Amino acid sequence: MTKRPFIVGNWKMYIGTVDEAKKFASGMRRKSAVYKGADVWLAPPFTLLAALSGAFKSSAVKVGAQSVSQFVDEKRTGEVSAEMAKSAGAIFAIVGHSERRALGETNAVVRAQLEDALAAGLAVVLCIGETERDLAGAYLSVITDQLSSALDKLPLIKPGRLAVAYEPVWAIGKAAADAMKASDLREMSIFIKKTLTEHMERAAALKVPILYGGAVEAQNARALLKEGDVSGLLVGHASASLDSFAEILKAVSKK
Ligand code: PGA
């Protein structure tokens, strides 16, 4: 039996108002047949966490944060801790997204965020990905470094608490034609699984879902998922419109 596809929507700042978020949620609830075949998580901006988790209450859709603070002490103007996100309704947090790394979040910051999120009881979607590909394969060491600094010597993570989202930065925000080729993704998926086994107990490592993100749209979602040999997808721009998100869910859930 193949596992249910795991689809995470990262709204970034595409959806910004409570009204839009509620409309999206009620539209999705009406289309519940569409997402029955997939596990769906959505990451709205912090300001919409409470409204969106309320709007999806007692549905299968889970809501989480796009990032969390690396800090847990109180004197941090403007920061939102994992505990705070949790109390607003988050059950997971994305950490290490390339748009956060581009603002200066280093591997050490990502590690601190991951530990805080796990300690708060959130599941973590750890984003990794190279900014460019070189023929000599140096990009592989970017992936190895991001994974090892995030996971090395971490206490055993409970099943279901960690997913790794591979997002090549050069594909993010582009249209489907510029996404990664499924055959290249398959190789990367094998590489990530192997690297995970070097930093976690093998049985636990093999259970960590690998997601792909970067220019996922309805046209390429199914091929990336099936031929790319990943458990799911992290969808940015195409998750922010109900129609395009529903098309993706339909495409990946087809038998
Ligand atoms: P995209 O974004 O689907 O718009 O490329 C993916 C992401 O940044 O998570």
Reported as a pLDDT band with limits 50, 70 and 90, residue 63 is very high
Q: Which residues line ligand 1 at a C-beta cut-off of 6 Å?
A: 10, 167, 172-173, 213-216, 234-238
Among 54-58, 118-122, 152-156, which stretch is predicted with the lowest mean pLDDT? 152-156
The torsion angles phi and psi of 26, rounded to 5 degrees, stand at: -70, -35
For 181-235, how does the pLDDT look when each residue is reduced to its tens digit (9 = 90+)?
999 999 999 999 999 999 999 999 999 999 999 999 999 999 999 999 999 999 9
Query: In whole angstroms, what is the distance from residue 205 CA to residue 116 CA?
Result: 20
* Gap from CA of 73 to ligand 1 centroid (Å): 31
Atom of ligand 1 nearest to the CA of 98: 8
Catalytic residue among 83, 97, 115, 130: 97
Residue nearest to atom 7 of ligand 1 (CA): 236
Within 8 A by CB and 6+ apart from 79, the residues are: 69, 71
Query: In whole angstroms, what is the distance from residue 101 CA to residue 195 CA?
Result: 21
Q: CA angle at residue 122 from 119 to 128, to 5 degrees?
A: 95
Token pair listed for 155: 């206490």
Query: In whole angstroms, what is the distance from residue 86 CA to residue 218 CA?
Result: 31
What average pLDDT does the segment 108-125 reach? Answer: 98
User: What pLDDT is recorded for position 78?
Assistant: 97
Reported as a pLDDT band with limits 50, 70 and 90, residue 1 is very low
Atom of ligand 1 nearest to the CA of 94: 9
Atom of ligand 1 nearest to the CA of 10: 9
* Gap from CA of 234 to ligand 1 centroid (Å): 7
Count the Cβ atoms, other than its own, within 10 Å of residue 25.
24
**DSSP-derived 3-state class of residue 161:** coil
Mutate to test the pocket of ligand 1, among 99, 172, 185 (most ligand atoms within 8 A of CB): 172
Percentage of the chain modeled with pLDDT above 90 = 90
* Gap from CA of 154 to ligand 1 centroid (Å): 28
Atom of ligand 1 nearest to the CA of 174: 5
* Gap from CA of 14 to ligand 1 centroid (Å): 11
User: What pLDDT is recorded for position 10?
Assistant: 98
For 74-107, how does the pLDDT look when each residue is reduced to its tens digit (9 = 90+)?
999 999 999 999 999 999 999 999 999 999 999 9
Reported as a pLDDT band with limits 50, 70 and 90, residue 2 is low
What average pLDDT does the segment 230-251 reach? Answer: 97
b/e sequence 153-187, b meaning 16+ C-beta within 10 Å: eeeebeeebbbbbbbbbbbbeeebeebbebeebbe
User: What pLDDT is recorded for position 156?
Assistant: 84
Is the pTM higher than 0.95?
yes
Token pair listed for 11: 């709204």
User: What pLDDT is recorded for position 33?
Assistant: 81
What average pLDDT does the segment 138-158 reach? Answer: 94
Judge whether 99 counts as a catalytic residue: no
* Gap from CA of 224 to ligand 1 centroid (Å): 14
Residue nearest to atom 6 of ligand 1 (CA): 236
Judge whether 97 counts as a catalytic residue: yes
Catalytic residue among 83, 130, 167, 217: 167
- Mean pLDDT of all residues belonging to the chain: 95
Q: Which residue has the higher pLDDT, 136 or 54?
A: 54
